[in-house]
C-alpha cells in the first residue's frame, strides 16, 4: 500500500511537471509578457513544488533582480554579489561574505556558450527535517524550467532589439533618402562649363554638403561644406544650412553677407557645440571672374595655366564666434580654361597601412594625370585612388567632391 502511494505520488509529481512545462510552452508560444512568464515560473516553483525561497538575477546592462519570494524585508534591495560570477555549474554556495550566501544554499547559473545570462539562488533547507528539501529534490526540473524561462526572456529582448534596430535602420534609410534630395542632381555639362559631384557618407547620413545654383545665364554660386561630427546630428544641421543658403540667395548674392548669415544660423542652432567649414564661390562667365570665401575649409585645388594653387582666402570656421573679423573676399580673374576640385577632409584624412595620410600632392597628381577628362571622371579617379591607398582600412569620415571645369570655348 505504501509502495503504491509512493508510485502514485511520483506519477502525480511527474504529471505536475509535465503540465507545468506544457503551460510554460503555451505561454511562450502565445508571446506572453515577461511579467506573465515570471508569475507562472514563481507559481510552479513556490505553490506547486514547494520551493521555499528564490532570487533570480538576469543581466540587463548590469545584474538585476527580476524575481524574489520567500525572503524577509531585509532583502528589499537585493545587491548582486560578484562572487556568483565564479560559479559556472549548479552547486551549493561556498563563499560566506555576502548576505545572499548566508541566506541561500544552492545556485543555478544559466549560460549561453561562455556568457552568463542568469543566476537562480534557492534556499529552503530545513535542518530539522530529515527529508530532502523541495529545492534539492526538484533541482533538475528547476534547472530545466529556469533555462526555458530565461531563454524565452532573452529571445523576447532580442526580438524587441531587432525590431528597434529595424526601425532605426528604416528611419536612417529615410533620412538618407531625404538627405540625397538636398544635393543637386543636375549639373551643367556644356562646351564652356562642366560640373560633377560625388558623395560617400561614412554612415548612412553625414555632415558633408555641396551645392551648385544657377543665378542666371552667366552667374553661378557653388559651395562645399562640412559640419563637425558625424551621423544624424551633423546631417540635421547641414540640412538647416542648405535651407538657409537657398533662402538667402533669393535676397542677396553677396558672398560676405551669405557667410555672415550662415554663421548666425550655425550659432543659433548648434550653440557653439558644432562648427561648420564652408567654401563658397560665385562664378561669372561673362566677366570671367571667380569670387570666393573660404571659411576654414580644406582649400579647393585650382589648376590654371599649367600650375596648381589653393584657394585659401576667407575667414575662420563658422559657429565659433558671433563676429567674423578680417574676412577676405578673393576675386580671381581668368583668361583661360581652368579646373577646380573641392573636397572635404574625409579625403585627406584617409590613411594607409603605414598610418600615412593621403596628401594634397597625391590629389594634385591624380588631377594632373586626368586634367583633360571630364569632372565626373576626375572625381571617380580620386575616389579610386583613395580606395587603393587605404587598402583594408575604413574611410575615417564622409567624403564629398565637387569639381568644375571652365573652358575658354564660351568666351
284 and 373 share a domain?
A: yes
352 and 395 share a domain?
A: yes
CATH of the domain at 239: 3.60.40.10
152 and 180 share a domain?
A: no
Asked if the structure places residue 168 within a domain, the reply is no
- The chain-wide mean pLDDT, for the chain, equals 84
Q: Is 51 within 8 Å of 142 (Cβ atoms)?
A: yes
Measured distance CA(378)–CA(367) in Å, rounded: 6
Kindly tell me if the per-residue pLDDT of 85 is higher than 60.
Answer: yes
Can you tell me which residue has the cell 549561453? 112
Q: Which residues contact 125 (CB under 8 A, 6 or more apart)?
A: 105, 133, 135, 136
pLDDT digits (tens, 9 = 90+) for 255-299: 999 999 999 999 988 777 889 999 999 999 999 999 999 999 999
146 and 231 share a domain?
A: no
> Residue 262 has which C-alpha cell?
550662415
pLDDT digits (tens, 9 = 90+) for 328-359: 999 999 999 999 999 999 999 999 888 899 99
Asked if the structure places residue 332 within a domain, the reply is yes
pLDDT digits (tens, 9 = 90+) for 367-405: 999 999 999 999 999 999 999 998 888 888 888 999 999
> What pTM value is reported for the model?
0.64
Domain extent, residue 58, equals 2-160
* Residues linked to residue 62 through DSSP beta bridges, in sequence order: 60
45 and 105 share a domain?
A: yes
Dihedral, 92, 94, 95, 99 alpha carbons, nearest 10:
40
Q: Is 384 within 8 Å of 401 (Cβ atoms)?
A: no
Measured distance CA(263)–CA(249) in Å, rounded: 15
Q: What is the full DSSP assignment across 88-156?
A: -SSEE----SSHHHHH--EEEEEEETTEEEEEEEE----TT--SPPHHHHTHHHHHHHHHHHHHHHHHH
Asked if the structure places residue 166 within a domain, the reply is no
370 and 292 share a domain?
A: yes
Per the model's pLDDT, the better-predicted residue between 177 and 329 turns out to be 329
The total domain count for the chain is: 2
295 and 335 share a domain?
A: yes
Q: Is 156 within 8 Å of 339 (Cβ atoms)?
A: no
148 and 224 share a domain?
A: no
Amino acid at each position: 500500500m505504501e509502495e503504491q502511494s509512493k508510485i502514485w505520488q511520483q506519477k502525480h509529481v511527474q504529471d505536475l511537471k509535465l503540465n507545468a512545462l506544457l503551460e510554460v510552452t503555451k505561454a511562450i508560444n502565445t508571446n506572453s509578457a515577461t511579467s506573465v512568464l515570471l508569475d507562472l515560473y514563481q507559481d510552479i516553483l513556490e505553490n506547486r513544488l514547494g520551493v521555499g525561497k528564490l532570487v533570480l538575477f538576469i543581466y540587463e546592462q548590469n545584474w538585476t533582480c527580476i524575481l524574489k519570494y520567500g525572503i524577509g524585508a531585509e532583502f528589499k534591495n537585493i545587491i548582486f554579489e560578484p562572487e556568483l560570477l565564479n560559479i559556472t555549474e549548479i552547486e551549493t554556495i561556498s563563499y560566506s561574505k555576502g548576505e545572499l550566501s548566508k541566506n541561500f544554499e544552492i545556485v543555478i547559473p544559466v549560460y549561453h556558450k561562455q556568457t552568463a545570462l542568469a543566476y537562480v539562488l534557492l534556499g529552503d533547507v530545513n535542518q530539522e527535517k530529515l527529508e530532502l528539501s523541495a529545492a534539492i529534490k526538484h533541482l533538475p526540473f528547476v534547472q530545466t524550467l529556469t533555462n526555458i524561462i530565461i531563454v524565452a526572456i532573452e529571445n523576447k529582448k532580442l526580438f524587441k532589439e531587432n525590431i528597434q534596430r529595424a526601425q532605426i535602420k528604416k528611419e536612417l534609410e529615410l533620412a538618407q533618402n531625404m538627405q540625397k534630395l538636398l544635393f543637386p542632381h543636375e549639373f551643367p555639362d556644356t562646351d564652356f562649363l562642366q560640373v560633377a559631384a560625388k558623395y560617400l557618407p561614412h554612415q548612412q547620413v553625414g555632415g558633408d554638403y555641396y551645392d551648385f545654383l544657377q543665378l542666371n545665364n552667366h552667374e553661378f554660386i557653388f559651395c562645399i561644406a562640412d559640419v563637425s561630427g558625424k551621423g544624424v546630428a551633423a546631417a540635421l544641421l547641414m540640412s538647416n544650412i542648405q535651407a538657409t543658403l537657398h533662402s538667402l540667395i533669393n535676397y542677396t548674392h553677396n558672398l560676405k553677407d551669405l557667410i555672415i548669415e550662415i554663421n548666425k544660423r550655425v550659432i543659433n542652432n548648434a550653440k557653439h557645440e558644432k562648427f561648420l567649414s564652408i567654401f563658397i564661390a560665385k562664378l561669372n562667365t561673362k566677366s570671367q571672374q571667380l569670387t570666393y570665401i573660404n571659411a576654414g575649409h580644406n582649400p579647393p585645388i585650382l589648376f590654371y595655366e599649367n600650375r596648381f594653387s589653393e584657394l585659401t582666402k576667407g575667414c575662420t570656421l563658422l559657429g565659433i564666434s558671433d563676429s567674423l573679423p578680417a574676412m577676405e573676399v578673393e576675386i580671381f580673374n581668368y583668361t583661360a580654361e581652368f579646373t577646380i576640385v573641392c573636397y572635404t577632409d574625409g579625403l585627406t584624412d584617409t590613411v594607409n597601412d603605414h598610418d600615412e595620410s593621403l596628401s594634397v600632392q597625391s590629389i594634385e597628381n591624380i588631377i594632373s594625370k586626368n586634367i583633360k577628362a571630364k569632372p565626373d571622371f576626375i572625381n571617380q579617379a580620386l575616389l579610386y585612388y583613395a580606395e587603393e591607398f587605404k587598402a583594408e582600412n575604413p574611410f575615417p569620415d564622409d567624403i564629398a567632391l565637387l569639381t568644375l571645369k571652365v573652358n575658354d570655348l564660351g568666351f
